[in-house]
Structure 1
Amino acid sequence: MAGNSEIIFDKLVYSCAFEKYRGYEEFIPEHFLGFQLSGETHAFHDQGNTVITENSIVLVRKNQLVRTIKYPSKEEKYQFLSITLDKETLRRYALENKIVVERRYDSKRKLFFESNDLLKSYFISLSPYINKKKESTPRLADLKIREAIELLLQSNPDFKYLLFDFSEPYKINLEEFMNQNYMFNVSVESFAKLTGRSLSGFKRDFSKIFATTPKQWLRDKRLEEAYYMIKQKKQRPAEIYLDLGFENLSHFYFAFKQKFGLTTSEL
C-alpha cells in the first residue's frame, strides 16, 4: 500500500501512506486547510519547496500547481487531513456576515502556516469521523467548514482578503509563468485558467509570445532541461523524468531520441 486518500465527508479528505509516496501534479482549484497528523509533506510549487512538518497547520491558496512527496515518520505512517473551503460556502458565509472585500490579498505566498491551538483542536475533533466512530451528515459537514473559516479569520483577520476574493484571476505575464511552471504535467486548460485566460485566449497569446503551440513548447522545454541535467549535472533519466512532467520513462526516452537524435546513454 503506497498511499491512498479517503473522502470522509463532502469536503474532508484523509490521506494515508505507509512508505515514501510521490504524488501527482495537482491543480488546486479551491483554498484548503490542512493538518499534518504524522510524517511530512514536501510540496514543490513555483516559489520553491515547502516542507509541511508533523503537527503543522497549513492554509493552501487556490489557483496554483503543486507536486508533493509524502514521507511517513519513523514511528508512524503518513497522515494528512484537509478540508476544502469551497467558493460556494465562502460566498454564503460572506453574504450572511456582510463581508465585503475591496482589495486583493497583498501577499503572493502560496502556503500559510498557522500555529494555532484552536485550529489543532478543530482537526483533532474530526478524528472520530476518520475512525468511523461517528457518521457525518451534510449539515454537519457544512458546519465544520464554517467553523474552519471562523477559526482562520480569528487567527488572522487579513485572511478575509484572501478567502473572500471572488474575482476572476487577472491576466498575468504568460512568458514568466510558463518558464516557472513548465515542469508540471497538467492540462493546457489548467495553464490557461492559472494565467487568467480562456483556452482560446491562452493559445492565441501563447502563439504570439513563443511562435509555437503550448504542447510543442512544453515538450521541447522539458527535453532541453533534461539534456542539461543529464549532460551537465550527471543525473540519470530515472531520477528526473517525473519532475520534468513526463508520465513514464519509455515516453521520455522516445521523445529524447526523437529531438536530439541520440539516446541518453550516448549523451
Structure 2
Amino acid sequence: MEGKKETIFDRLVVSCQFKKHRGYEEFFSEHLLGFQLSGETHAVFPGGTAVIPENTIILIRKNHLIRTTKYPSSAGEYKFISINLDQEVLQQYAFENKIKIGGRYKGSQRLFFEPDEFLKSYFISLEPYINKKKEATPRLADLKIREAIELLLQANSDFKQILFDFSSPHKMDLEDFMKKNYMFNVSLEAFAQLTGRSLSVFKRDFSRIFSMSPKKWLQERRMQEAHYLIKHLAQKPTDFYLDLGFENLSHFYSSFKKKYGITTTDLRKEHDSMVENKQ
C-alpha cells in the first residue's frame, strides 16, 4: 500500500506510510507542532540528526531545514500528525492576550518532549477529522489551532519566546552556513531566508564570498563531495546522490563525466586498484 500525505483542514496535515520512505528536504517557514502517532521519523538538519520515536511531540521552529526518513512501526504503519502555527494566527493571539516577550529564545533550535495528558488528548481529539467522521468548519479549525497554542504555553512557558518572536532572522555567517548545508536541495529563496537575507542581498553576498553564483557553487561543491565519496570511500552514487542534493541519477552521471572526464564506474575501479596495490 502506498503512503499518503493529506491536508485535513487549513493547517492540519497527516502523513501515513506503509514502508520505509526517504523524504525530501523541507523548509519550514512557519512553526510546526507534530505528534508521532506510530512508527518513527529520522531527521537530518543543519548541525545534527535526531530520531523522533512513537508517542513523541516535536515543535520545530520556523525558518529551519529538515530532511526525513520515515520508518513504519512493527505493525506496518507510520503516522505523523502536524499542525502549522503560522505567524498571522500567532500575532492575532498575542494581540488579543496582550503577550510580549523580552528577547529571543536562547535554547535548542528544535524541541522534543513527551506529551502531557492534555496535549496527548488534544491530538486524539483530532482523530474524527482525520478519519473524516467529522468535518472541520473554518471556525472550528481556528479554535483547534488556538487550543494547541494554549496547551503549548501550559506545557512550557519558554515556548512563549519561540511562538511570539516576530522579529526577522539574524544575518548569519553565509560562508560557514553554506559549507555546512550545501547538500540540502532547497531553493535559493529558502537559503536566503535561512541566512537572514533577501534574495538579492543573498546573491550579492554569495558572489562576493565565493566569486561565483550560488547555483554554480552548489553544483561544484556537491560534485567535489561525490568525487571524494566514490574515489576514497568506494561508495555507489545510488547510495548518496539524494543526500548530496542531486534530484536525478542519470543527470548526475552525465554531469559527473562532463566535469571529470571519467565515469563513476571507472573512478571506483581506480579506488579498487589503489587498495590492491597497498596490500
Q: Do both share a fold (TM > 0.5)?
A: yes
- Asked if structure 2 preserves the Cα contact closer than 8 Å seen for 1:2 and 1:21, the reply is no
2:175 counterpart letter in structure 1: E
Query: Which whole-Å CA distance do the structure 1 matches of 2:114 and 2:202 have between them?
Result: 36
1:156 counterpart letter in structure 2: N
Other-structure match for 1:77: 77
1:4 counterpart letter in structure 2: K
Other structure's SS at 1:76 match: coil
Other structure's SS at 2:122 match: helix
Matches within 5 A, 1:171-186: 171-186=171-186
1:9-66 residue CA offsets vs partner (Å, 9 max, x unmatched): 1100011011111111111110011011110111110121111111111111110111
Query: Which whole-Å CA distance do the structure 1 matches of 2:37 and 2:114 have between them?
Result: 14
Query: Which whole-Å CA distance do the structure 1 matches of 2:55 and 2:173 have between them?
Result: 37
Other-structure match for 1:233: 233
Query: Which whole-Å CA distance do the structure 2 matches of 1:44 and 1:2 have between them?
Result: 23
- Asked if structure 2 preserves the Cα contact closer than 8 Å seen for 1:2 and 1:20, the reply is no
1:174 counterpart letter in structure 2: L
Q: CA RMSD in A?
A: 1.1
- Asked if structure 1 preserves the Cα contact closer than 8 Å seen for 2:19 and 2:76, the reply is no
Query: Which whole-Å CA distance do the structure 1 matches of 2:160 and 2:15 have between them?
Result: 28
Matches within 5 A, 1:102-113: 102-113=102-113
1:41 counterpart letter in structure 2: T
Q: Which runs of 5+ in 2 are unaligned?
A: 268-279
Q: How many residues align?
A: 267
TM-score for the superposition, normalised by structure 1: 0.97
Query: Which whole-Å CA distance do the structure 1 matches of 2:117 and 2:249 have between them?
Result: 45
Displacement after TM superposition at 1:116 (Å): 1.8
Q: Flag as ranges the 4+ runs of structure 1 deviating above 6 A.
A: none
Other-structure match for 1:3: 3
Larger mean Cα displacement after TM superposition, 248-257 or 109-118: 109-118
1:65-123 residue CA offsets vs partner (Å, 9 max, x unmatched): 11111111121311000011110110011001100123000124234334422111110
Other-structure match for 1:134: 134
1:163-189 residue CA offsets vs partner (Å, 9 max, x unmatched): 100011121100111011110111111
Other-structure match for 2:273: none
Displacement after TM superposition at 1:234 (Å): 1.6
Other structure's SS at 2:133 match: coil
Other-structure match for 2:48: 48
TM-score for the superposition, normalised by structure 2: 0.93
Query: Which whole-Å CA distance do the structure 1 matches of 2:256 and 2:224 have between them?
Result: 9
Query: Which whole-Å CA distance do the structure 1 matches of 2:115 and 2:37 have between them?
Result: 14
1:206-228 residue CA offsets vs partner (Å, 9 max, x unmatched): 01111111001000111111111
Displacement after TM superposition at 1:4 (Å): 1.4
Q: CA 1:164/1:243 → structure 2, altered by over 3 Å: closer, same or farther?
A: same
Other-structure match for 1:195: 195
> Higher Cα Rg: structure 1 or 2?
2
- Asked if structure 2 preserves the Cα contact closer than 8 Å seen for 1:29 and 1:64, the reply is yes
Work out the percentage of aligned pairs sharing the same amino acid.
Answer: 65
Q: Which runs of 5+ in 1 are unaligned?
A: none
